[in-house]
Amino acid sequence: METLGDRMRLQVQSQTNTLTPRLEIRNLRRRFGNRQVVDDVSLSLQSGKVTCLLGPSGCGKSTTLRMIAGVDMQDSGEIYVDGNLICDTVFRVPPERRQIGLMFQDFALFPHLSVCDNVAFGLKGSKDAKRARVQELLAKVNLGWAIDKFPHVLSGGEQQRIALARALAPRPRIMLMDEPFSGLDNRLRDGIRDETLAVLKEEDTAVLLVTHEPEEAMRMADDIALMRNGRIVQQGAPYNIYNAPVDKQAVAFFSDINVIRSTSHGALTETPFGQFLTPGLDDGAPVEIVIRPQHLKLDFDRAGKGPLPTASDGVAARGIVTRARFMGNESLVEFQMDHDASHLKVTVPNVFLPKEGTALWLTIRRDRCFVFPAQA
Ligand SMILES: Nc1ncnc2c1ncn2[C@@H]1O[C@H](COP(=O)(O)OP(=O)(O)OP(=O)(O)O)[C@@H](O)[C@H]1O
């Protein structure tokens, strides 16, 4: 008979199982020559979730992926799958036994094999069982009709979906994707991204997607790990990464930015747009207030006066239009500010194209400002 102790043990066990990451990397490091390309990277992936490793070109994303796949070897650090060590500096499970699927930009299918044979390539078992799995996957990517075709008769987008089916066929526990959509033209990309995401979720695969495109990460990720110079500088849900960035570069990675420079005194800084708190900063410490162009507001000049100050928008400062351009969904208006001749950019929905030399008043949405100590 099951005792209370057994039940509690089972409960603890099942909780542990749900908490154990599908993939965990701890303190991974890799150096090429005298350059530390991956510097103490730790990450956890959960089943059915997409984590995006997002960062500029050359920051070490692909090197991290290659170590996880087992095609490159870390200098130090460990890799675990379902809590089991698969690689440290002494022990190493070979790539083909890691149950990790790979999908790269250069996803080349085998041209001499049919779609069926391409997708079945990594499968074991009887011919019928393989064909059944191929049919199941092709149905998921809406390409059931192509099973007996050859790759060259398919479009780029269709080939990409076949590559996804091929990578998923052996039911990998983890899928590593390195810029898999960057070879596709813009019109196809969104649809294929969404479809890929749906299939990966359905298969409950843990996904690590490498990209240098913030829009792609925002669109696909449950979790974003922002990487810079070999390190993960911030990790979290897309909403948090966008709205609570760790530093100026993290804001700038997602959008254009404006920087208002000032100095801290008594844990406050005075700017032409009002005061801001600067907790923890020494007197005289330089401060940067960072704000995205869509979070400034414009108002007309009424005989040298602008709008009255408000708690949400602070004080208005006057600027002179230096340029205004229509961008499609919005207009971009650039200013030279009266108070210090600095330049600020403002985006306004639809068409708003004031003439060069027009005086306008700018306010900033205080809840959308990020205050950082100035970086050297
Ligand atoms: N085998 C190697 N030998 C020497 N240097 C290498 C090697 N592999 C990568 N690097 C260097 O390490 C740095 C990081 O490369 P990596 O491919 O990981 O960057 P990435 O973030 O994926 O960039 P991208 O988005 O351009 O692919 C680059 O400067 C690259 O030149």
Q: Please classify residue 8 by burial: count the beta carbons closer than 10 Å to its beta carbon, then call 0-12 exposed, 13-18 middle and 19+ buried.
A: exposed
From start to end of the chain, where are the E strands?
23-32, 35-45, 50-54, 76-81, 84-87, 100-104, 174-178, 206-211, 223-228, 231-236, 258-265, 268-271, 274-277, 286-291, 296-300, 317-326, 330-337, 343-349, 359-364, 370-373
Question: Are 76 and 196 part of one and the same domain?
Answer: yes
Query: Is 62 close to ligand 1, i.e. is its CB under 6 Å away?
Result: yes
Note whether 288 and 372 are within 8 A (CB): yes
The winner for highest mean pLDDT among 17-31, 63-77, 98-112 is: 63-77
Of 327, 373, 369, 375, give the one whose Cα is nearest residue 350. 327
Cα 57 to middle of ligand 1, angstroms:
8
The whole model's pTM is what? 0.85
Task: Determine the pLDDT at residue 5.
Answer: 54
Query: What's the sign of the alpha-carbon dihedral 79, 40, 241, 168?
Result: negative
Angstrom distance (rounded) from CA 325 to CA 196: 36
**Angular region, 280: left φ>0, alpha ψ -120 to 50, beta rest:** left
The C-alpha angle 154, 158, 160, rounded to 5 degrees, equals: 120
Query: Does residue 17 fall inside a structural domain?
Result: no
Question: Are 155 and 43 part of one and the same domain?
Answer: yes
Query: Which residue, of 252, 273, 300, is where some domain finishes?
Result: 252
Cα 230 to middle of ligand 1, angstroms:
10
Angstrom distance (rounded) from CA 78 to CA 24: 8
Task: Determine the pLDDT at residue 141.
Answer: 85
Task: Determine the pLDDT at residue 91.
Answer: 92
Cα 107 to middle of ligand 1, angstroms:
19
Angstrom distance (rounded) from CA 373 to CA 262: 10
Query: Which residue, of 196, 229, 252, is where some domain finishes?
Result: 252
- Domain containing residue 337: 255-373
Question: Are 65 and 145 part of one and the same domain?
Answer: yes
Residue-wise pLDDT for 220-242, tens only, equals: 999 999 999 999 999 999 999 99
Query: Does residue 9 fall inside a structural domain?
Result: no
Q: In what order do the strands lie in the sheet with 286-291?
A: 274-277, 268-271, 258-265, 286-291, 370-373
Provide the mean pLDDT of the chain: 91
Task: Determine the pLDDT at residue 276.
Answer: 93
User: Atom of ligand 1 at shortest distance to CA of 72?
Assistant: 1
ipTM: 0.94
State percent of the chain over pLDDT 70. Answer: 95
Supply the CATH number for residue 274's domain: 2.40.50.140
User: Atom of ligand 1 at shortest distance to CA of 55?
Assistant: 21
Query: Is 60 close to ligand 1, i.e. is its CB under 6 Å away?
Result: yes
Query: Is 59 close to ligand 1, i.e. is its CB under 6 Å away?
Result: yes
Query: Does residue 338 fall inside a structural domain?
Result: yes
Question: Are 56 and 176 part of one and the same domain?
Answer: yes
Cα 98 to middle of ligand 1, angstroms:
23
Query: Which residue, of 231, 252, 273, is where some domain finishes?
Result: 252
Task: Determine the pLDDT at residue 170.
Answer: 87
Question: Are 116 and 94 part of one and the same domain?
Answer: yes
Residue 122 has which token pair? 């990594």
Question: Are 288 and 167 part of one and the same domain?
Answer: no
Cα 61 to middle of ligand 1, angstroms:
8
Residue-wise pLDDT for 190-209, tens only, equals: 888 888 888 888 889 999 99
Angstrom distance (rounded) from CA 82 to CA 204: 14
Query: Is 230 close to ligand 1, i.e. is its CB under 6 Å away?
Result: no
Residue-wise pLDDT for 239-275, tens only, equals: 999 999 999 999 999 999 999 999 999 999 999 999 9
> Based on the structure, what is the number of domains in the chain?
2
Which residue's CA is the closest to the ligand 1 atom numbered 7?
Answer: 32
Please state the φ and ψ torsions of residue 137, each to the nearest 5 degrees.
-70, -40
- pLDDT at position 17 over 60: no
